Each structure stands twice: as structure tokens, then as C-alpha cells.
Structure 1
């Protein structure tokens, strides 16, 4: 029996899924929300989870608990068995992810108390990107300042990028080590990664998840002088700028809505702002595709995943429309066909195979955590 409990704990919610790590089946799952309100803390949230799935836990006792942790800095390069010392390191890294790591740590502590006999495993969003070469992760600022304040590119969505690149190789019956891949993880948060032989060699998110592609509410790449300009001329504080760039920008800032389905509905109705937002979004996708083609020296496979990547054929078609020079050729019928399975959307004649690969980060975490069970 290979049941693993996967916990994704944030500051205000605790998501969980009970997964059969062998078959990939979700045995149960749910979410406890409003943590921090009316006396509901993470310990109480875990108690609610136990009430909701207690019978299933008795029938299919987990062999391990896997925890999603957003930021592992440069300390964690792989899934890690959680000890008191590891907890302390996750706590110390909270300065790099103040919105994510503290909530994850509270969930870890509550779950360790609830399941003291099980191995608890931290799976870090940043770990897959620890293979980035120095030229890719180094920012061109004062080196001493960068060292002192841990400023470098870390990258995120690593669990998804790793899972999707491995699934793509398996689907094609190819050796992962032979493939050059570009993976577009396009959800409300979005990132793209160049994967060479199964290793992340370039990724769009940086020290934080704000850099890179245009996202639902985040701006992505931005001239660093713009926040300085707004601070000086508009009197915006650090907190004001944080809210602007993380919560009021991206598609929401451009068109008033963050969901790609709403963007496309408004485009079809003739909304100029939605049309511009879509074009800006696609422009950035094409820019990164071209850059990563150059970094890899060519590509064998391009995969789309996550909410937008899996369900927005118009985005996929537009993003690939200018890559004919690289041998990319999309089959319109395949691209429009709906499916929950891994599928090819390029033509048989395309020199590059373009795929849609549904991501499953919980399953990936479960399988990584399973390796620590004895």
C-alpha cells in the first residue's frame, strides 16, 4: 500500500490530498480555509482535515506525508526529510518568501504533531532549478550585496516543470537525458523553463515569483526603475508597490479581469483592452520561447501545462505561431480537441513535438515523499 498524504499549507488555507503514489489515484482531498479567523489556526485546520478523512486514513494509512514548500533558497536541492533542523532552515528562508514559507512551516509543525510516527518530506518549488548554471542564476548587481542578501535567481513551479518534462519523455518513449525541452506552466501564476537532459538550465521566475511572464495579477518582467519612479512621483510606499505589482498588474491590471476565459470572451465581444492584454501576454511567451531556443541550441519538445496551458488552445496557437523558423507546426484540429490526457498538438511533419501535458504536483510530491518511507 503506497498511500501518501500531501499537504499544501499557506497562511490562510490548508489543502490536502490522499494519493495512491503507485496508481496516481486521488483517494480523497479537500481544503480548510479561513485560517487566522475566529481562532482557527493550523493545528485546528489539521484537526478538521482528520475529521473529514479520518475513516479513509484508517482504511488506507499513509506511509509518508509530503509537504509543498515554496522557497528552499540555495539550501535545499532535493526533497528533504523534515527534522527540527530543517524546520529551522525553512523558517530562516522566510525572508525570501514571507507570504509562503511561514504558512508552510505552521502546517508542517501541525502535521508532524498529528502524525509523529511518519516521515515528513519537504518538496521545494525551487529545488529543481538548483541545476541552473551560474550565468543563468546570477544578477548583475554588486556581488557583495547579492551574497549578503541571498539575491539570485531561484525559480519556481519546479515540481511541475520536473513532472511535466518527465511525463513528456515517457509519453514519447524517449530518454529524458537526450531531450531538449521547453515547458510552459501557464496558470494564474506562470513560468517557463528550459530543460536540457532532465535538468533545469533556464527559468523565467527569479528571486521571487514576480519576474518573467505576464500572469493573472503579476506584472512579470518590468524595468526596475518603474517602482523607483512611482515612489518618487506618486508617493507609493514599499507596501503599495508590492500590492500594485503582485495583485493589481498582469491581465487584471491590463483588462480588469485575470482569468483567460474572461479575457477571450471580452476579446470576442470587441473589448480593446482585453485584446491588448492577450497580445501582451502572447508577446512575452514568444519572447521567452525564442530566448530559450537560443539557450538550448534548438529544442525537441515544447509542452504546455496548468490551467491556461492545458485549456486555452488560442493561447497555445498564438504562442507558437511565429516559431515556424524552428520547425514548429501546430495542427489546428489537434490543438482544439479537448482532453485530460497527454496529447500531441503539432503536426506529424513538425520538427518539434508540441504537447499538452496535464500537471499533477500533488502526485509528484507523493511519489517523491514515498521514497523516504521504510
Structure 2
């Protein structure tokens, strides 16, 4: 199968670019890689681009001054790997874009006007949308004749019920500035909930689902009949669950209190809540494996961070159980959700009276496949389903461009 059947998926961050070349129908990944430490001073021997493809792992060492250089280096490694992307006749390029605001709520073919609007939405996602737009501009310059599609993290949650998406603030202020709950990780929540229905041989329309996307960023969703009815993230990806470096829910009065008592302005508070809070702020580490190792060694700060993390997770589980009027499936996904049996067990501990239980043997078994971890005949099916946002983006892009 040639690269002409494939979609190149690009996820541009502030200092990195992740990419995959994959065939959307078969889900075959032809190549994947990452450009890291963009714009950082690094030594000539530092690996900054790693590409895995038909000829094994290929690398570039040395500084990557900007995103354009990073993408060009990735394209050079593709060529060394046997695929000249500029002449491969790709079906499409799919870009992950974090925030679509009220404007974008379905996959969208990218034009100059679309890129400009994505940039204008940067106030809603200042850590993400500017980088997404930069990646799109460079990719369009390198592949000017290839259709390019933006797939938005917020799209799956665009149709939240009014009661779930509305903040109880001055309505005129909210309307003037587009303030509502948008939700994020939507591509993952939509993909995983669909995979759950496939795995169980059920029509999504018959299922009440809770999906827990637990990675360095974390979010929960309540899904009824294949449609999201609530989610934990809000106007920005800061709301909701405790995360690696993000606080999740706080009393908004904390920001005013710190301004008055600590002289901390809005930007400093926002930076703290995004970059030095969550597990990092409580324990000094944001990698969950390091946190669990610290807990096992008896570190009190790590233990507290873990307990706060699980407490917040259980709070959202309880809320969504009520909101859905019961649940048929609870699914764990993303890095922590897929790889931490302890989190899965602790999050659902003591819920047998609700028909929710975890089989300890199934929960601790090593596997990278989608699997059921609840006991046989349990009223609620608990699953672990690996997410695949790249495949979801590739399929959305391929469908849109035909």
C-alpha cells in the first residue's frame, strides 16, 4: 500500500511536534515521530528528532530553532525512510487543534481564514492554539497541494445541554466574551466511547457511559446514547480533575485572595495553576510513575497528592452516576488510565453497592489491548480501552476530503 492511501497527522505543541503517517481504514501506522525541545539551547549531540519507520529508528541531533525547521527535519527523515511526502500524494494532513470556540465544532478544511480564526481563539487556549496555528502554517507551506484538515478537541462537546455548558455568571458578560464550558480531549472521548460500543457489540444509542481520560492532562465525560451530556473541563483545559501540573477545580476566590495577600497578579496566578499545581505542586513530580514510586517509598507529600487525585476523580464519578441516572460502562484510558491498576482500583473502591466492581486479577494483568476488568456478569462493565487520537483525526480528515 502506497503513502497515497495515508493521512499525515500533526500535533504541534509549544516546544514539540508529534506526527504519524497512517492508513485510516486499516489503522496501520507507517511511520511516527517526535520533534522535541524546539527553540531550546541544546548540545550538538542531543537527539531532538526521532523518527520510527520502515528502516527502523532515525534521528537528528542538535538544536531545532523553530517549528518550521522541525517540520523540515521530520520531512527529511521521512525521505531517508523511503517516503518523499511532498510527492507522495497523501490523502490529507490532519491537524489537532485544541480550541474551536463557538466557531468550529466539526472537522474543517483549512483555509487562510480558518488559520486566522484559530489564532484569534488563542485567548481561550493561550498555551495551545498559537502553537497549533504555527504548525498548520508550516505544514501548508511544505505541502501546498495536499488537503489539510483541522480537528478540534472541543468539537465532541459542542452540543452539551445548556445546563451543563453554562456558567452562573453575568449573562451579558458571558455572551459578549464567549464564556461557556467547551470541554477538551473530545477526540479521545468520542473515539473511546465508540470503541466501547464495538467491544461490547452494543449500539452506542443504548449505552450510558463514563469515560475517564487520565494522562498528564485529565478529563471525565458523561455520555448518553453516543452524545456527551457533561464533561469536567470547561472554558479552558484547567477546570476539572487534578492533573500533572494543572490544579483542576479551585475556589475562584483564591486568585483574588493571592492578589491581595501575596501581590500575585492574574498572569502569575494563571501560570501557577497551569504549570506548578496538580501533582507537581503537591508533591514535586508530575510523572505518575514517579509519584507512585514515591508513595510506595513512604513519601507523605506524594501520598497526599495521590489521595487528592483519587478523591477528585471519585467526586466526578459520583456526579455523573447521578446525572446519567445510572451507568452501563466506566472506561479508563490515556497514560494513567491505561497503565495504573492502583488508580483504577482505588477510584472504584467500595462501589459494589452500585454494581461497580473491579476484578483484581484482570485489573493487574499486563495488556495493551482493550479489555474488561470487571467481574463476569457485573451490572456495570468496567473497561480499559487505549485511546488513539491520531487514528480518529486521520479518519475524520479522510472522510471530510473524500
Category of TM-score, reference length = shorter chain: over 0.9
Q: Is the CA contact 1:2–1:370 (under 8 Å) kept in the aligned structure 2? A: no
Task: Classify 1:270/1:36 alpha carbon distance in 2 versus 1 (closer, same or farther; 3 Å).
Answer: closer
- How many residue pairs match? The answer is 374
Q: Which residue matches 1:282?
A: 310
CA distance in 1, matches of 2:347, 2:366: 18
The corresponding residue for 2:273 is: 245
Distance 1:318 1:124, change over 3 A: same
Q: Cα deviations across residues 66-98 of structure 1 (Å, max 9, x unaligned)?
A: 000000011111111111221122121111111
Aligned residue in 2 for 1:180: 208
How far did residue 333 of structure 1 move? 0.3
* Separation (CA, whole Å) in 2 of partners of 1:119 and 1:18: 15
SS at match of 1:131: coil
**Cα offset for 1:14?**
1.7
Is 2:35 the counterpart of 1:32? yes
Mean Cα deviation higher: 303-312 or 227-236: 227-236
How many angstroms apart in 2 are the aligned matches of 1:12 and 1:79? 25
The superposition leaves residues 298-347 of structure 1 with CA deviations (integer Å, 9 ceiling, x where unpaired) of 11111000000000000000001132222111100000001010000000
Pairing partner for 2:179 from 151, 163, 188: 151
| Aligned-partner SS, 2:8 | strand
Higher relative contact order (CA 8 A, sep 6+): 1
Matching residue of 2:357? 329
Structure-1 residue corresponding to 2:148: 120
After superposition, the CA RMSD in angstroms is 1.5
**What is the rounded CA distance, in whole Å, between the counterparts of 1:289 and 1:83 in structure 2?**
40
2:372 aligns with one of 326, 335, 344:
344
**Residue 62 of structure 1, aligned match among 90, 94, 119:** 90
1:128: Cα distance to partner? 0.4
Structure 2 residue 315 is the aligned partner of structure 1 residue 292: no
Q: Is residue 302 from structure 1 mapped to residue 347 from structure 2 by the alignment?
A: no
Q: Distance in 2 between matches of 1:28 and 1:236?
A: 46
In the alignment, which of 211, 228, 234 is matched to residue 206 of structure 1? Answer: 234
- TM-score, L = length of structure 2: 0.90
Match of 1:48 among 63, 73, 92: 73
| Cα gap change, 1:196 to 1:132, in 2 (>3 Å) | same
CA separation in 2, counterparts of 1:14 and 1:269? 35
Deviations, residues 156-190 of structure 1 (Å, cap 9, x unaligned) = 00000000000110011100111110000000100
TM-superposition CA deviations, 1:77-133 (whole Å, max 9, x none): 111111122112212111111111111111111111211222101000000000201
| SS of alignment partner, residue 73 of structure 1 | coil
- In the other structure, the counterpart of 1:4 is 7
By how many angstroms is 1:61 displaced? 4.1
Correspondence list, 1:98-109, <5 A: 98-109=126-137
8 A Cα contact 1:43 1:110, kept in partner: yes
* 1:226-278 Cα distance to aligned partner (Å, 9 max, x none): 11111110111222212211111111111121122122212222222211111
Of residues 23, 28, 49, the one that matches 2:26 is 23
Query: Aligned with 1:371: secondary structure?
Result: helix
For residues 181 and 2 of structure 1, what CA distance do their matches in structure 2 show?
Answer: 34
Instruction: Give SS of 2:220's match.
Output: strand
Does the alignment pair 1:166 with 2:194? yes
Report deviation, 1:39.
Answer: 7.7
Answering whether residue 297 of structure 2 is matched by residue 269 of structure 1, we say: yes
**Range that drifts further, 110-119 or 184-193:** 110-119
